[in-house]
Copies of this chain bind each other. A is one copy, B any other.
Amino acid sequence: MTATVTPLRPGKSEPSLDPVIALVAADMNKVNAVILGRMQSDVPLIPELAGHLIAGGGKRMRPMLTLACAKLLDYPGDRHCKLAACVEFIHTATLLHDDVVDVSDQRRGKKTANIIWGNPASVLVGDFLFSRSFELMVEDGSLKVLKILSNASAVIAEGEVNQLTAQRRIDTGEDRYLDIIGAKTAALFAAACRIAAVVAERDEEVEEALDSYGRNLGIAFQLVDDAIDYVSDGETMGKDVGDDFRDGKVTLPVILAHARGTDEEKQFWRDAIEGRRVADEDLARAKDLLIHHNAIADTMARARHYGQRAIDALGPFPAGQAKAALVEAVEFAVARAY
């Protein structure tokens, strides 16, 4: 199934992550070296389990943002590489814990760590990576960076608990859902971008602009993920289509279709989200209803709204290769997987 996408850049070629990947390629090698070096331990299970996920084909989206924002600011130093590794460690720790929380069995097209090594190992190696991330930040020595990333970490955990308490609740509204993804996803995107301004010693306004870029991109990114879960194929996204549906996750497509549905449809969504409709025919009906009520298309429209805000947050920065790459990264995020 394919949804209609209104491009943010009419008349141009397909947006791609390639420009931003090329922009930060040299720095990303340094980040990877830090990651590999600092996930080591005398306890062999730690690098083994961490490596499975860290070396396992993630896009390194968040550290990439730190590096690209540093380029945007012409930062000449090296500190951002270590800090980008911190961001990736925090992200990896949350993924390890998320997979335990969600009882996931697949991520990025591979078995999850909790399936291979068990929940205890995933919880504890997540804790290790999280602690190691703070050790690395302390080595860098910026209290401002520590404040930004410790706050982001607390907000992420708060968002995850918030999501947990909204689990299987069809009465979750769009506002609360935006609060949740603003915390669990967008906060780390925002922090990843913001710390580039800190290491480059730029003023509060620059920090705020990069924070806004990252936060809006993060929301757009998550909304597109939510839409993809209903329309893509398993191979493209590394997990099965309809996983969110079967897990009873209330995401924006569901919120919109439920809000716009008849009483009978509302009851269908309630049954589905509460776990009483998990058959393939139920998923098929859910997809029909999402299409019928434009819920996928409108989730994508919301994503483009936040994507546009991310792009506009870059307004204060001079045109150039870095800015163009950051803009195209947003365009890619809202157009991907179709």
The chain A residues found within 8 Å of chain B, CB to CB, are 41-46, 94, 97, 100-102, 119-121, 123-125, 127-128, 130-132, 134-135, 137-138, 141, 143, 146-147, 150-151, 153-154, 156-158, 160-162, 164-165
Q: State whether A127 and B43 are in contact (beta carbons under 8 Å apart), knowing that A100-B119, A143-B141 are contacts in the complex.
A: no
| Chain B nearest Cβ from A56, distance in angstroms | 19
Residues of chain B contacted by A100 (CB below 8 angstroms)? 119-120, 123
Complex contact A138–B128 (CB within 8 A): no
Known contacts A123-B123, A146-B134, A147-B135: does B158 contact A41 (CB below 8 Å)? yes
Determine the distance from Cα of A138 to Cα of B142 in the docked complex, in whole angstroms: 10
Check if B43 sits within 8 Å of A158, measured CB to CB: yes
Can you sample 17 A-B contacts with CB below 8 Å?
A: A43-B162, A46-B161, A97-B123, A100-B120, A102-B120, A119-B119, A121-B164, A123-B123, A124-B157, A125-B161, A127-B160, A128-B161, A130-B153, A132-B154, A135-B154, A143-B143, A146-B146
Chain B residue contacts of A45, Cβ below 8 A:
161, 164-165
| Of listed A94, A127, A138, residue having the most chain B CB within 10 A | A127
CA distance A151 to B151 in the complex (A): 19
What is the total number of copies of this protein in its complex? 2
**Would you give the shortest CB distance from A118 to chain B, in whole angstroms?**
8
What residues of chain B lie closer than 8 Å to A44, measured between beta carbons? 165
Pick the residue among B46, B97, B134, B164 that contacts A134 (CB under 8 A): B134
> Contact between A161 and B97 (Cβ–Cβ < 8 Å)?
no
Kindly provide the distance from the CB of A122 to the nearest chain B CB, expressed in whole angstroms. 9
- A120: B residues at CB distance < 8 A: 100-102, 164
B-side contacts of A125, CB under 8 Å: 157, 161
Q: Is the CB of B164 within 8 A of A151?
A: no
Shortest CB-to-CB span from A202 to chain B, Å, is 20
B128 touches A154 (CB 8 A): yes
Residues on B with beta carbons closer than 8 Å to the beta carbon of A164 = 45, 120-121, 124
**Quick one: given A121-B164, A132-B154, A165-B45, are A138 and B127 in contact (CB under 8 Å)?**
no
Tell me the bound Cα distance from A131 to B187 in angstroms.
14
Collect the chain B residues with CB atoms within 8 Å of residue A162's CB. Answer: 43
